[in-house]
C-alpha cells in the first residue's frame, strides 16, 4: 500500500542563467502586472551558468514526499531515451516506485528550459506526451492521489481518479496547471467536488474565480472553497501563503531564505502541506510545513536539491519562530 501516488509530468530541467547584459529591459505585463523579461530579437544572449536536473510536478512531489518519509509512486510517461534513464535512476535512488512510469518508445521525454533571473524563473516546457489519456491511474491501494498539472485530455485522468477514490476511499489533492486553469472552473468541477485539498497560486486563483487583483485573498479562498474542496491552499510568492478549511483561515509570511531560484517552490509547498496532513496535523501546522519546505528549495538551483526531510522541518519549527496569523 502506498501513502501517495503522484500523477502528472516528469521532465529533464535545463537551467540557464542569462548574463545581465543580455536582458534588455523589464516591463509590466498588462494581464498579470508581473515583470516581463525581454531579449533583443535575433540576438545572441550570453549564458553565465547551466545546470541539469530532473523535475516535473509529479516527479518533484513524489521525491518530496519520499524524503518526508512516505511511500510514494509516480504515474507519468517518458520516452525510451537518456532523459528517461536519468529520471528513473533519480526516482529509484529517492525510494519512489517507478512501476507506473510508462515508457512510450515513440515519444521524446518531456523537458524544460528554465531561465533563472534575479531569484525568479521563466519556464519553457516541451511536453513529449501529447495525449494524457494514455496515462492510467493504477487500481492499487493508496491513501492519497496527488494530481499535478496535466496536458490534453486531462479530464480522462480526473475521471479515473474520481472512480478509484470513490471505490477505495482514497483522498485526492489536486494542483491544476495552466491548461486546466485555462479551461475554467466548470472543467475542474468534477475533481474539485471530491478533492480533499486544492493547491493554486494567487494568479491561478484569480483566473478560476474571475475575481480581479482588487479582491482580498480571503475572497479567493472562500470562492474556491465553494467549488467543493475540503481545504484550499493559495501561495502568493514572496508574500507567503494562505489556507482555509471552511472553518479556520490562516496566512503565513514566507520563511527567511536566501532566494536563488524559484523552480519547484510550489511543489515543495504542496509536499510539506500534504505531509503534515498525512501526519494528522491541523492546517495551521500544514501551512508551516509547506512554507518551510518551499523556503529551502528556493535557496538552490533545482526543484529537488534542498527538499527537506521530516526531521529537518520539525527541527526548523522548533528552533525558529515565524508568524502565522488567523485571517
Residue-wise pLDDT for 302-323, tens only, equals: 899 999 999 999 999 999 887 8
Could you tell me the three cell numbers for 236? 502568493
- Which residues in the chain show pLDDT less than 70? 20-35, 213-214
HEC profile for 300-321?
A: CCCCCCCCCCHHHHHHHHHHCC
Buried b (16+ CB within 10 A) or exposed e, 75-98: bbbbbebebbebbbebbeebebbb
pLDDT digits (tens, 9 = 90+) for 227-240: 999 999 999 988 99
User: Could you tell me which CATH number the domain at 2-10+55-111+133-326 has?
Assistant: 3.40.1190.20
DSSP 230: S
pLDDT at 309: 98
pLDDT in tens, 202-226: 999 999 999 876 689 999 999 999 9
User: Does the predicted model carry a pTM greater than 0.85?
Assistant: yes
- Total Cβ atoms within 10 A of residue 69: 14
What single DSSP character describes residue 211? Answer: -
Domain ranges, ordered by start, for the chain? 2-10+55-111+133-326
How would you class 199 by CB atoms within 10 Å of its CB: exposed for 0-12, middle for 13-18, buried for 19 or more? buried
Chain mean pLDDT for the chain: 92
Decide: 316 and 292 in contact? Cβ < 8 Å. Answer: yes
Distance CA 279, CA 276 (A): 5
Amino acid at each position: 500500500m502506498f501513502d501517495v501516488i503522484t500523477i502528472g509530468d516528469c521532465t529533464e530541467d535545463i537551467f540557464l542563467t542569462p548574463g545581465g547584459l543580455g536582458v534588455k529591459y523589464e516591463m509590466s505585463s498588462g494581464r498579470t502586472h508581473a515583470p516581463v523579461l525581454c531579449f533583443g530579437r535575433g540576438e545572441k544572449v550570453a549564458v553565465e551558468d547551466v545546470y541539469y536536473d530532473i523535475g516535473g510536478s509529479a516527479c518533484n512531489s513524489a521525491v518530496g514526499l519520499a524524503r518526508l518519509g512516505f511511500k510514494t509512486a509516480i504515474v507519468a510517461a517518458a520516452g525510451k531515451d537518456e532523459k528517461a534513464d536519468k529520471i528513473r535512476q533519480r526516482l529509484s535512488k529517492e525510494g519512489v516506485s517507478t512501476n507506473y512510469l510508462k515508457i512510450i518508445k515513440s515519444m521524446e521525454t518531456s523537458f524544460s528550459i528554465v531561465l533563472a533571473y534575479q531569484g525568479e524563473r521563466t519556464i519553457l516546457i516541451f511536453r513529449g506526451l501529447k495525449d494524457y489519456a494514455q496515462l492510467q491511474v493504477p487500481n492499487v491501494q493508496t491513501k492519497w492521489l496527488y494530481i499535478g498539472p496535466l496536458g490534453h485530455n486531462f479530464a480522462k485522468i480526473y475521471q479515473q481518479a474520481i472512480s478509484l477514490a470513490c471505490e477505495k476511499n482514497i483522498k485526492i489533492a489536486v494542483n491544476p496547471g495552466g491548461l486546466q486553469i485555462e479551461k475554467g472552473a466548470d472543467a475542474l468541477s468534477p475533481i474539485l467536488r471530491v478533492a480533499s485539498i486544492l493547491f493554486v497560486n494567487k494568479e491561478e486563483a484569480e483566473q478560476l474565480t474571475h475575481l480581479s487583483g482588487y479582491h482580498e485573498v480571503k475572497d479567493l479562498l472562500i470562492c474556491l472553497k465553494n467549488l467543493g474542496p475540503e481545504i484550499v491552499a493559495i501561495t502568493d510568492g514572496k508574500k507567503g501563503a494562505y489556507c482555509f478549511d471552511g472553518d479556520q483561515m490562516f496566512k503565513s509570511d514566507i520563511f527567511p531564505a536566501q532566494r536563488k531560484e524559484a523552480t519547484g517552490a510550489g511543489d515543495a509547498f504542496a509536499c510539506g502541506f500534504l505531509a503534515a496532513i498525512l501526519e494528522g496535523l491541523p492546517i495551521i501546522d500544514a501551512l508551516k510545513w509547506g512554507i518551510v519546505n518551499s523556503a529551502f528549495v528556493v535557496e538552490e538551483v533545482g526543484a529537488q536539491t534542498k527538499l527537506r526531510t521530516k526531521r529537518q522541518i520539525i527541527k526548523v519549527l522548533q528552533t525558529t519562530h515565524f508568524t502565522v496569523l488567523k485571517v
